[in-house]
Amino acid sequence: MVHIKPVIPKNFHDRVIAPSLLAADFSCIEEEVSRAIHAGADWMHLDVMDGHFVDNISFGPAIVQTVHETNDIYLDVHLMISRPDHYLQRFIAAGSDMITVHVEAEHDVAETLRRIREGGCEAGLALNPATPLSAVEPFFDQIDLLLCMTVVPGFGGQAFMPEVLEKIKTAAKIRDGKGLTFHIEVDGGIDAVTAARCYTAGANVMVAGSSTFRAPDMAIAIAEIRNA
């Protein structure tokens, strides 16, 4: 299929729903992504795990390429890997639209963010619940998205960590105070109830795995998160 680069991210005032492929049925990825698009998904969130940065292994560039070639949706790629710099070119070539890397990983963060944008992708920076905002603030003027993890990364289906809400509030305040325009994304334990709290705190991009792909009706689940 001819792949037209999806519409670049909406602005950070817009609510964005990004179902996580991690919760999909891996035996029929093309159909699952298509199901999410028809159910109202804005982005597709692809959770890449290397079994080293997190205690789980999910999938790599080949799956990103499969989704890129079989569906037309903005690909929000979350690299939970120790060496994002080493693998970056392969994820760019696979068709990622947004590439988010962890500040805790072993790389030169500014250089990686620069290379992501140089490769034509939007650049995201993620921090785990235990990581203070001070670790990412120096990069606020070099990102298109800040991902505040609301679970310890590695597995879907975990309980939302409300203590992250304070961090989201502070990040939104600093961003607005500096006139910056990056999205604030949350990931882990997001459903209509926890999404409402995250919107109030200042997040606009909701990553949801279990609560969307495993809902009885995915379209209703996405609408409930969007209108939370």
**What is the C-alpha R_g of the chain?**
16
Q: Does 76 bind Zn ion (CB under 5 A)?
A: no
Q: Under the criterion CB under 6 A, does residue 64 sit at the interface with ligand DX5?
A: no
Are 77 and 64 a contacting pair, CB within 8 Å? yes
158 binds, among Zn ion, ligand DX5, none (CB under 5 to 8 A by kind): ligand DX5
* Closest to ligand DX5 by CB, 92 or 215: 215
According to the binding rule CB under 6 A, does residue 138 interact with ligand DX5? Answer: no
Residue 124 CB burial class (10 angstroms; 0-12, 13-18, ≥19): buried
Toward Zn ion, which CB reaches closer, 35 or 78? Answer: 78
Torsion of CA 168, 97, 41, 83, to 10 degrees: -60
What is the footprint of ligand DX5 within residues 144-183 (CB under 6 A)? 151, 153-158
Cα gap 167→197, rounded to integer Å? 13
Applying CB under 5 A, which of residues 50, 97, 187, 224 lies at the interface with Zn ion? Answer: 187
To ligand DX5, the closest distance from the beta carbon of 81 in angstroms equals 12
Choose, by CB under 5 A, the member of 78, 102, 107, 115 that binds Zn ion: 78
Based on the shown chain and the rule CB under 6 A, indicate whether residue 20 belongs to the binding site for ligand DX5.
yes
190 binds ligand DX5 (CB under 6 A): yes
Instruction: Tell me the C-alpha distance between 106 and 102, whole Å.
Output: 9
Closest approach of Cβ 177 to ligand DX5, in Å? 29
15: phi then psi, degrees, rounded to nearest 5: -80, 135
Size of site (CB under 5 A) for Zn ion: 3
- Which of Zn ion, ligand DX5, none interacts with 157 (beta carbon under 5 to 8 A by kind)? ligand DX5
Instruction: Answer yes or no: 187 catalytic.
Output: yes
Near Zn ion by CB under 5 A: residue from 47, 50, 185, 224: 47
**Residue ranges in contact with ligand DX5 by CB under 6 A:** 20, 22-23, 47, 78, 151, 153-158, 187-190, 207-211
Catalytic residue list: 47, 187
